């Protein structure tokens, strides 16, 4: 099928019988295949040169800043478009007219080392890594249009988009109950999500969450510090959507202690306090978590401990001062590591890396977080573990 046929099919479905389509008759489910290669069955073709028009109901706001590019995947992943201008506030967006409501958006990237997805002027997905990465997010549409782009993940890399699927979940433009997570590389997502070798506990926590109660939005990113999470867009995205009944779990400190980041412990604590107070003001529940230790933190008696590392004492003190729940993952994980011993502990970390958990390690850390949250009386969790 030629790509032009996809556009003709969309036009006929939107405007059968001619004339304008009333707002209530807008299409609310789409599948877009980007680039100039063959179109996949069931998808609407979008080339980099396809500008938005109200008649069509979709297109790029500034097609002059888009480019068709090849991609190494198959099917919809065999080609893509590249965003030549980007940034969460950029006007160089792909726009889709939609009836107001709640939507699930599935994104497939083209060839890129690392890229993030933004919509409605804020981050939606942080640091998708590798060619053809796939992820999804929920978003409420309140102004009749989705405005999306692929943007910064790693400077100097291409920001590309191969496919987009949009499915309406509800007429109500309100996010489902959500667990938002903030953190660093020990918490972040790794791709492909279902089979990554490395893992962050935030990526794996969903396995212990009842999908009827919560969706999980992991906004953690590698190398992140408290100041960066607050100032560079991740907290902004959470504050845009978070509401009473939601949870926000925040774990930072590992990178803040690195001298290159120039953050004293006192500064770290006050930045964290500011974030806690901003989220508490929305009526959501804030949970602070301390980072787990290194695989090598065993003493001569084979006891694991890292209590004096990574500004843990300030995190514990802040939780007490602001009266928010604390998951002391540092102490909890050390007890677990002691129980399984040094060899089994090392097997839960990446090879040759004492800091970053592998997939199995991330699952165990997520289990410890889940068990502690459940112990403290928080709802929405279920006993479940990925089969190895």
CA-CA distance, 254 to 354, in Å (whole number)? 13
Alpha carbon distance 42, 201 (integer Å): 36
Cα dihedral angle (3, 153, 351, 226), rounded to 10 degrees? -150
Q: What letter would DSSP give residue 22?
A: P
What does the DSSP assignment read for 103-169? EEEEEE--S-SEEEEEETTEEEEEEEESTT-EEEEEEEE-SSEEEEEEE-SSTTS--EE-EEEEEEE
Q: Which residues contact 222 (CB under 8 A, 6 or more apart)?
A: 127, 184, 185, 188
Rg (CA), the chain: 22
283: left (phi over 0), alpha (psi -120 to 50) or beta: left
DSSP3 helix / strand / coil % (the chain, rounded to 5)? 30, 25, 45
Q: Which helix (H) or strand (E) holds 91?
A: none
* Catalytically annotated residues: 185, 353, 356
Residue 116 pairs in a beta bridge with 151
């Amino acid at each position: 099928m030629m790509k032009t046929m996809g556009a003709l099919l969309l036009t006929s479905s939107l405007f059968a019988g001619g004339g304008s389509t009333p707002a209530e008759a807008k299409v609310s489910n789409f599948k877009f295949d980007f680039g100039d290669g063959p179109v996949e069955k069931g998808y609407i073709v979008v080339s980099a040169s396809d500008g938005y028009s109200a008649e069509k109901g979709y297109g790029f706001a500034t097609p002059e800043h888009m480019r068709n590019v090849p991609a190494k995947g198959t099917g919809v992943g065999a080609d893509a478009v590249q965003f030549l201008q980007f940034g969460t506030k950029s006007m160089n967006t792909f726009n889709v007219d939609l009836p107001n409501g709640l939507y699930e958006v599935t994104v497939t990237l083209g060839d890129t080392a690392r890229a993030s997805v933004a919509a409605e002027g804020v981050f939606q997905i942080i640091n998708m890594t590798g060619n053809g990465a796939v992820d999804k997010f929920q978003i409420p549409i309140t102004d009749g249009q989705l405005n999306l782009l692929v943007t910064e993940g790693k400077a100097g890399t291409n920001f590309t988009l191969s496919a987009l699927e949009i499915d309406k979940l509800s007429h109500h433009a309100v996010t489902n109950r959500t667990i938002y997570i903030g953190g660093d590389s020990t918490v972040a997502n790794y791709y492909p999500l279902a089979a990554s070798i490395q893992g962050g506990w935030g990526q794996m926590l969903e396995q212990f969450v009842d999908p009827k109660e919560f969706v999980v939005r992991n906004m953690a990113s590698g190398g992140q510090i408290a100041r960066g999470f607050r100032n560079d867009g991740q907290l902004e995205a959470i504050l845009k959507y978070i509401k009473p009944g939601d949870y926000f779990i925040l774990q930072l400190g590992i990178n803040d202690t690195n001298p290159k980041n120039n953050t004293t412990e006192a500064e770290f604590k006050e930045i964290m306090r500011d974030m806690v107070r901003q989220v508490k003001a929305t009526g959501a529940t804030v949970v602070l978590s301390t980072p787990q230790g290194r695989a090598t933190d065993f003493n001569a008696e084979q006891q694991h401990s890292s209590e004096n590392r990574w500004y843990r004492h300030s995190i514990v003190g802040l939780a007490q001062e602001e009266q928010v729940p604390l998951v002391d993952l540092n102490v909890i994980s050390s007890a677990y590591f002691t129980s399984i011993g040094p060899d089994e502990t090392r097997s839960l970390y990446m090879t040759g890396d004492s800091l970053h958990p592998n997939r199995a390690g991330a699952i165990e850390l997520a289990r410890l977080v889940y068990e502690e949250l459940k112990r403290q009386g928080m709802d929405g969790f279920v006993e479940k573990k990925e089969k190895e």
